[in-house]
């Protein structure tokens, strides 16, 4: 079964979430959207999302630096 991964390089103080692995696309998509929603509260974000194949990127600017959250299908 395919695994979906959410990875990030967010600084710890800004609500960094650990890297996640999901068995289902539905769970991965839901968590990715929650992360985008939480980051948008305080910071400017840019979201790129595709549902087939499931893939997404969130770019967030925090204190003048750009960080990323990525969603992709593993193997």
> Residue 15 pLDDT > 60, yes or no?
no
Would you identify the CATH topology of the domain 3-74?
Chitinase A; domain 3 (3.10.50)
Show me where the domains of the chain are located.
3-74
What's the pLDDT score for residue 34? 94
Q: How confident is the model at residue 13 (pLDDT cuts 50, 70, 90)?
A: low
Q: What is the mean pLDDT of residues 55-66?
A: 93
What is the pLDDT, as a whole number, of residue 62?
A: 87
Q: Which residues of 47-67 are buried (b: 16+ CB within 10 A; e: fewer)?
A: beeeeeebebebebebeeeeb
């Amino acid at each position: 079964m395919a695994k979906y991964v959410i990875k990030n390089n967010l600084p710890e103080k800004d609500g960094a979430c650990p890297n996640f692995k999901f068995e289902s696309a539905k769970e991965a998509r839901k968590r990715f959207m929650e992360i985008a929603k939480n980051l948008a509260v305080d910071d400017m974000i840019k979201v790129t999302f595709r549902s087939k194949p499931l893939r997404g990127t969130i770019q967030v600017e925090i204190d003048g630096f750009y960080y990323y959250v990525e969603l992709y299908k593993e193997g």
